[in-house]
A and B are shown apart, each in its own frame.
Chain A
């Protein structure tokens, strides 16, 4: 734009400074509520630094994998460099997706629980008594899927220690959302290479080979026996959470969140809904959180009623 006189640049400078202040104010305005929330929350187990770092790590890794596939399809030299260059921006973009964020959050919490159980009770993160028993099962189908889930759990442990999350481990819906998100991020720049890369990623995807699907499949194959996974010492955290989710119709994210010690009622209801008797429910709740006050109300409650209450609270948008 032509500058007719000398005063305009000065005015423009002022304007841009004011804009910067307005943007700054918006950020500062958020400090209060966040800080107040953090200070008021008695514990930070749901968003401790560790959890936040893990979520960030997983999102970066996801972004990096997508970009690497893109660079590969484009035949670009220096694929790593390409992924490094754009990784942070795409990861930021992905962090804005609630579904993915919730999934990563739940994984981080699950891993934290797994590690805690190992230190407190010596429960192996990968090889629980239940898994050992299933691998030796006479039902060869069940034995083989138990074996596959063991491998998948070992992979998960490794990935969590590296704060990574392989694309293949995502549930189908989240994987789809992520690809759509990547499209949106690329916008007009969507090239043939990206279309090729996306098709390749979609073709390679097999939800049934992911850890969560494999575990759900084992629990489903066990039928009524699946209840045995609800003893956390016997099943281990991963199977415990999977059985809790599948047997109560909750999402796995909701099942993971219910193990937080602020969510004792949710956990008790879930266990009751999954078919445990009240003594078992109490034992399991105390095992997860020794300081918890067991909810007596659920003793007489039929499992259907417990599931009903849970599903109502889920539809109210809590989880």
Chain B
């Protein structure tokens, strides 16, 4: 087959979704004139249809397309080659422009233009009303939520001129004016913050308007745009959990690792005071890390779409796991952790990971605030359809006023410098409630505290073990 020597006027690439990834001069300009950008979907209708067809068929196509860039009619010959590689079924296509002609558009005839304007109004209008030949309201219809109030008011005033129902700026004339003067006026509508343009389509022949009018109200901006602007200010700022946590973790882990190296004198002999400074650095860094984790957790549990993944779990397992993890820390303080006895079992419907997180927080607190040589118990129980897991300590206990306070955000009950962020219990309760459960405390001064997590109970273990 004879091949054609082709010098391409322009080349472009589209991805599998029909977005124009890159484009040379002429095509890029046409894309912009049609309302698109590089990186957005191809905005040239005939070209998009061709690209999609070539990709759907998996065939190289060569066709002519026409487009209008606002002032000129463009006729171009393009060759489209889908780029299919074996591993990736459709990975876009290349577009090569072989010829390009543009000629000025003939001036549009007035009747055509008027007809098209009516078409556009008809499609864009948020509110359509039928008026009689004196522009009095006969019926009204709207889908826009911010016009509902207006529509109700208008329906109660059927028979009044429509100009009484909206506010026309600079309205000092006897309304309604001739429809040609009112066509295209700006107005505001009760209950809507958008500004509106009224268009009147006259009905009837031979005298336009003799059979009445259709009134179109078209807003200057779509309703959703306002909402997205408001939303954008919220989550679009840097998110602590998503953006900062991973960035901060790495240097802090490095500080901890180096401080530990100095503390344990791994790199050589060192004066004891320096070693203990290093221990302070490591402790502070660990605290910082815990704080960061808490803050990112806080962000997660406070977001609206926070949800847990409930499963059937064995609370005794979770309790023993928590005891295992914190056993070393407890022994350092001479505290004994008393896990549920072997053989005891309580099934619940909750997310294992989240329950463990709560339990680690509760047991960690108990270790932190209990006197040395004391005991911390973890007990399982069931009341009705609630499965309970209780962490009891022999610490100072809480006063009545403090019992609710401990669950507040950043609440430290006057303590400081012990490695807590004041977020643990707040986060734990949020998680508990997200699992359809709760976290409560019973305590009296001098008698220790009993924190109880309750979650929905389950009766039998799933057939297939995890």
Residue A220, interface by CB 8 Å: yes
Q: Mark A195-209, 1 if CB is under 8 A from B, else 0.
A: 000000010011111
Interface pair A148/B64, CB less than 8 Å apart:
no
Residue B123, interface by CB 8 Å: no
Instruction: From B5, B103, B106, give the contact of A144 (CB < 8 A).
Output: B5
Task: Give, as a whole number of angstroms, the nearest-CB distance from B314 to chain A.
Answer: 50
Interface pair A220/B77, CB less than 8 Å apart:
yes
Note all chain A residues with C-beta closer than 8 A to B58. 202
Chain A, 184-238, CB within 8 A of any chain B CB: 202, 205-210, 213-214, 216-217, 220-221, 223-224
Residue B2, interface by CB 8 Å: yes
Interface pair A148/B4, CB less than 8 Å apart:
yes
Note all chain A residues with C-beta closer than 8 A to B54. 172
Interface pair A176/B59, CB less than 8 Å apart:
yes
**A interface secondary structure, majority:** helix
Q: What is the size, in residues, of chain A's interface with B at 8 Å between Cβ atoms?
A: 30
Residue A175, interface by CB 8 Å: yes
Interface pair A220/B101, CB less than 8 Å apart:
yes
Report the bound CA distance from A175 to B53 in whole Å: 12
Interface pair B101/A223, CB less than 8 Å apart:
yes
Report the bound CA distance from A223 to B100 in whole Å: 8
Interface pair B5/A172, CB less than 8 Å apart:
no
Chain B, 25-65, CB within 8 A of any chain A CB: 53-54, 57-64
Interface pair A207/B99, CB less than 8 Å apart:
no
Q: Mark B1-13, 1 if CB is under 8 A from A, else 0.
A: 1111111000000
Note all chain B residues with C-beta closer than 8 A to A246. 64
Interface pair A207/B2, CB less than 8 Å apart:
no
Interface pair A148/B98, CB less than 8 Å apart:
no
- Closest chain A residue, CB of each to CB of B56: A176
Task: Give, as a whole number of angstroms, the nearest-CB distance from A144 to chain B.
Answer: 4
Instruction: From A209, A221, A304, give the contact of B98 (CB < 8 A).
Output: A221
Residue A151, interface by CB 8 Å: yes
Note all chain A residues with C-beta closer than 8 A to B59. 172, 175-176, 202, 205, 207
Residue A95, interface by CB 8 Å: no
Residue B75, interface by CB 8 Å: yes
Hey, which bits of chain A sit against chain B, CB under 8 A? 140-141, 144-145, 147-148, 151-152, 168, 172-173, 175-176, 202, 205-210, 213-214, 216-217, 220-221, 223-224, 246, 304
Apart from A148-B4, A209-B62, what 10 extra A-B contacts exist at CB < 8 Å? Answer: A141-B7, A148-B2, A172-B54, A176-B59, A207-B60, A207-B63, A208-B4, A208-B62, A217-B77, A220-B64
Hey, which bits of chain B sit against chain A, CB under 8 A? 1-7, 53-54, 57-64, 75-77, 79, 98-99, 101, 103, 106
Interchain residue pairs A-B with the least CB separation, the first 4: A208-B62, A151-B2, A220-B77, A221-B99
Q: Could you show 21 A-B contacts with beta carbons less than 8 Å apart? A: A140-B5, A144-B4, A144-B5, A145-B6, A176-B59, A202-B57, A202-B59, A206-B60, A206-B62, A207-B59, A208-B4, A209-B1, A209-B3, A210-B62, A216-B77, A217-B77, A217-B98, A223-B75, A223-B99, A224-B101, A224-B103
